[in-house]
Chain A
Amino acid sequence: AQSVTQLGSHVSVSEGALVLLRCNYSSSVPPYLFWYVQYPNQGLQLLLKYTSAATLVKGINGFEAEFKKSETSFHLTKPSAHMSDAAEYFCAVRANTGNQFYFGTGTSLTVIP
């Protein structure tokens, strides 16, 4: 069965610092992986997705993620944090059969001015 693990339920970074949010997946076959962001009182918005094309995926708002099969990881990064990046971030993997997504527990990002 597929699953994702997000290490760190809370991450704090200074404005302008590197953002690194960790996600490890378990899947017996090459997975479809997603990062979603949730701003307060809003729905989940797709940041980026990996669908077995390029291993480095660029998303919206300057975020990117690299698929590393050897590490079963799909960590989310952004070179320079902005105050507007403060939100909850969810990593998800799509089931190999069917259409359901398996989500991680989420990481709350705080950006310190």
Chain B
Amino acid sequence: EPEVTQTPSHQVTQMGQEVILRCVPISNHLYFYWYRQILGQKVEFLVSFYNNEISEKSEIFDDQFSVERPDGSNFTLKIRSTKLEDSAMYFCASSDQLGDEQFFGPGTRLTVL
């Protein structure tokens, strides 16, 4: 069964460093998403991506964040200068139709020290 994969499973970084979180969505999906979950809090939407551009983004997704689909399979989330409050679980998701079920990856736990 096709699934969304994410790497790494756990990333530890120093405050101010850049991190790139990687995702491989399901191959025939067209819509891609990033969500995050700070420990003990809700899963929050960050950004959606379609047709090689951002289609929606939340207030959380400020200039420190960027997304890219560098090739036909990967979808990345970059945080330019990490802050302590960026520590969270980051989930990638994909869907094949607008508004349909989103398939989630296992997440990357980011720890900023």
Contacts and interface: CB of A to CB of B under 8 A. Distances in A.
Contacts of A32: 99
Nearest to A3: B42
B107 to A, nearest CB: 6
B55 A44 contact: no
Interface of B: 3-4, 6, 9, 31, 33, 35, 41-45, 48, 55-56, 58, 91, 93, 95, 98-99, 101-107
Interface stretch (A17-25, A65-73, A79-87, A95-103): A95-103
Contact of B56 (A34, A41, A45, A99): A99
Contacts, number: 56
Residue among A42, A101, A106 with the most chain B CB within 10 A?
Answer: A101
12 contacts: A36-B104, A41-B106, A43-B91, A43-B103, A44-B43, A44-B91, A46-B103, A98-B55, A99-B98, A100-B45, A100-B56, A103-B43
A4 B104 CA distance: 19
A42 B48 contact: no
A66 to B, nearest CB: 19
Nearest to A4: B42
Contact of A43 (B33, B41, B101, B105): B105
A27 interface: no
Q: What is the size category of the interface that chain A forms with chain B?
A: 20 to 34
B35 to A, nearest CB: 8
A42 B35 CA distance: 15
A98 B104 contact: no
Given A99-B56, A101-B45, A94 B104 contact: no
A74 interface: no
B98 A103 contact: no
Given A44-B104, A102-B45, A103-B35, 15 more contacts: A32-B99, A34-B101, A43-B6, A43-B91, A43-B105, A44-B43, A46-B103, A49-B101, A90-B43, A99-B48, A99-B56, A100-B56, A100-B58, A101-B102, A104-B42
